[in-house]
Every structure is written in structure tokens, then in C-alpha cells.
């Protein structure tokens, strides 16, 4: 008789086999990353950098962000946070303290990006469903919240749920940011970076595309996509394995460019998965930088 444990193990093995069959061959992955590296070299980059930021969309993020911030300080990693205005105001004392210790904040809009119901968080505040006036109002509200809470004048922006935006909606956001004197946005999927490089000029503004992983360069690598479940939003070991594999493979191939990754503090605070990733990044000699550092290096300042 076949035990339930044996059936489960065979199911896992079959799932792993199917996943490996669906992945592009190593040679194809290497070519994709090499093409990106050529674009990065043309923009003046001569090594691989990590650009790490954190979206603090939930109340639980404020509860653990100081601990996560401490991990970054210990490892000399610049700290950048994207916090919706209502969340900044709600936990003003915590975020003000981080700002006083050197953390940087970018505008993440004014309204909350998630709402809690039926035992879990659900996404809300979709710019693709907003009128242009509503988008402009939300960006302005986020701008004012960053100033009021941290004392910093934000020059960078990340749109909520930016993967849903079409080109015309994205262009309206850019127009709004230009009028407000912003220098950069980081509101695009890896596809843009693979096509145009780490920095993309969008008419007086710079777009800094987010990054994927070694095995899935076209798919954004974020913490939410690798949590145990929506009701238990803590990253799995697979998230750490993907990050560490990406760093190891890119280091092995002497990759040039920028890994622009973001995570939510509450997703990565439990266990040691994320800390091991941070250590692995350092072990591979991948230098961590901030958004402003990237603009300087790319000659956009």
C-alpha cells in the first residue's frame, strides 16, 4: 500500500520536475542577462549593484520596520521606504525616528493600498481605475505626508499596484511628477529594464525599473509573490533560495547592472530567510546603493 506521505512526496517531485521543464534553459537565461548587462555597461555601470527598498503598506509593517532597519544598518545597506501617506501619519513616531537615523522615504501615494476583510488583506487604491484628478490628488497627498512626518522633500515615487497601469496612465503620472519637481519613479516591471537598461529617461524624469530573478528575469521578484498564503503573509524559504540563486548566478557570470528589489517588512521579519539573503548578497560582493546613488552613478544628477 502506498502511504499518504509517499503520495505527497511523489506529488512534490512531479511538481518540481514540471517547474524545471517550464524554466528557460540556462543558456537562454544567460543570454537575457548578458543583453541587459550590455545596456547597463552602455549607461556607465561596471559591476552589479543592489537597490533595496521596502513597501510599508500594512499596519504590521510599522510594528517590525525598526527591527528590519537594524539589519540593514548592521550590513551597511542604504534604507529606503515607500509608505502610503495614511500609514506614515498613523505610525508617525516610528517613521520619523527612522528618518532621523538616515533612512530615506519616497512618495507612495496618500491612500491605503490594502484593506483587511474576511481574515486577510486585499488590495485597493488602483490608479488604473482613478480619474486623472484623483491620481494627482493622491500623489500630492503622499508628498505632503512625507514632508510632514519625516521632514524630507520626496523626489522619488512608486505607484500603488503599478503593474496594472497602461502607457497613457503611466504618462499622466510622469507629467504630474515632472510638474512637482520629482527626479525619478520606480513604478515599472522588469521588462522595461531588460529592454532599456537600469535607467530609463522619460522626458525630464528617470524611471528605475524593478528587477526579476535569475530564473524569471521578466517577472518582478517581490516578497508578496512568495508568502505562505494571503492569510499567513510570511515569505517561504523558496523566496530566499531564489534571491541567493540569483546573486550566485549573476556573480558567476560577472553580471553588470542593478538588482532593484523591494519587500514588505512584515513579510520578511520572521525567521532568518531574509537575513541570510542579505549576508549572501554581501558575500558575493554585490554593493548596495540607494536611489540617489543610482542617479549619480548614471549621470542623472
pLDDT tens-place values along the chain, 301 residues long: 333 333 333 344 344 433 444 566 667 899 999 999 999 999 999 999 999 999 999 999 999 999 999 999 999 999 999 999 999 999 999 999 999 999 999 999 999 888 998 888 888 899 999 999 999 999 999 999 999 999 999 999 999 999 888 899 999 999 999 999 999 999 999 999 999 999 999 998 999 999 999 999 999 999 999 999 999 999 999 999 999 999 999 999 999 999 999 999 999 999 999 999 999 998 998 999 999 999 998 887 6
* C-alpha cell read off for 56: 510599508
Q: How far apart are CA 136 and CA 9, in angstroms?
A: 52
The residue assigned the cell 528587477 is 211
Q: Where do runs of H (alpha helix) occur along the chain?
A: 4-22, 26-42, 59-74, 85-90, 92-100, 132-150, 167-179, 190-196, 237-252, 265-268, 273-283, 291-297
Q: How far apart are CA 161 and CA 296, in angstroms?
A: 27
Query: pLDDT per residue over 85-104, tens digit each?
Result: 999 999 999 999 999 999 99
Strands 206-207 and 200-201: antiparallel
Amino acid at each position: 500500500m502506498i502511504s499518504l506521505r509517499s503520495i505527497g512526496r511523489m506529488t512534490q517531485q512531479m511538481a518540481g520536475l514540471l517547474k524545471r521543464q517550464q524554466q528557460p534553459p540556462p543558456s537562454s537565461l544567460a543570454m537575457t542577462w548578458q543583453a541587459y548587462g550590455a545596456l547597463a555597461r552602455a549607461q556607465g555601470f561596471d559591476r552589479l549593484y543592489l537597490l533595496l527598498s521596502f513597501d510599508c503598506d500594512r499596519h504590521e509593517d510599522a510594528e517590525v520596520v525598526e527591527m528590519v532597519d537594524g539589519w540593514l544598518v548592521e550590513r551597511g545597506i542604504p534604507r529606503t521606504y515607500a509608505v502610503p501617506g495614511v500609514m506614515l501619519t498613523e505610525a508617525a513616531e516610528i517613521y520619523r525616528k527612522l528618518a532621523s537615523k538616515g533612512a530615506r522615504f519616497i512618495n507612495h501615494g496618500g491612500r491605503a493600498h490594502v484593506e483587511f476583510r474576511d481574515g486577510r488583506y486585499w488590495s485597493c487604491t488602483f490608479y488604473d481605475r482613478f480619474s486623472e484628478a484623483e491620481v494627482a490628488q493622491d500623489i500630492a497627498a503622499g508628498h505632503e505626508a512625507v514632508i510632514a512626518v519625516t521632514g524630507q522633500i520626496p523626489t522619488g515615487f512608486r505607484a500603488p499596484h503599478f503593474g496594472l497601469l497602461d502607457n497613457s496612465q503611466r504618462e499622466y503620472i510622469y507629467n504630474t511628477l515632472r510638474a512637482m519637481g520629482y527626479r525619478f519613479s520606480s513604478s515599472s516591471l522588469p521588462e522595461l529594464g531588460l529592454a532599456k537598461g537600469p535607467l530609463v529617461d522619460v522626458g525630464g524624469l528617470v524611471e528605475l525599473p524593478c528587477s526579476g530573478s535569475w530564473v524569471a528575469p521578466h517577472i518582478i521578484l517581490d516578497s508578496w509573490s512568495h508568502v505562505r498564503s494571503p492569510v499567513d503573509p510570511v515569505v517561504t524559504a523558496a523566496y530566499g533560495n531564489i534571491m541567493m540563486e540569483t546573486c550566485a548566478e549573476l556573480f558567476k557570470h560577472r553580471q553588470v547592472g542593478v538588482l532593484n528589489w523591494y519587500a514588505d517588512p512584515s513579510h520578511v521579519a520572521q525567521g532568518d530567510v531574509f537575513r541570510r539573503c542579505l549576508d549572501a548578497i554581501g558575500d558575493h560582493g554585490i554593493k548596495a546603493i540607494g536611489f540617489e546613488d543610482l542617479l549619480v552613478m548614471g549621470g542623472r544628477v
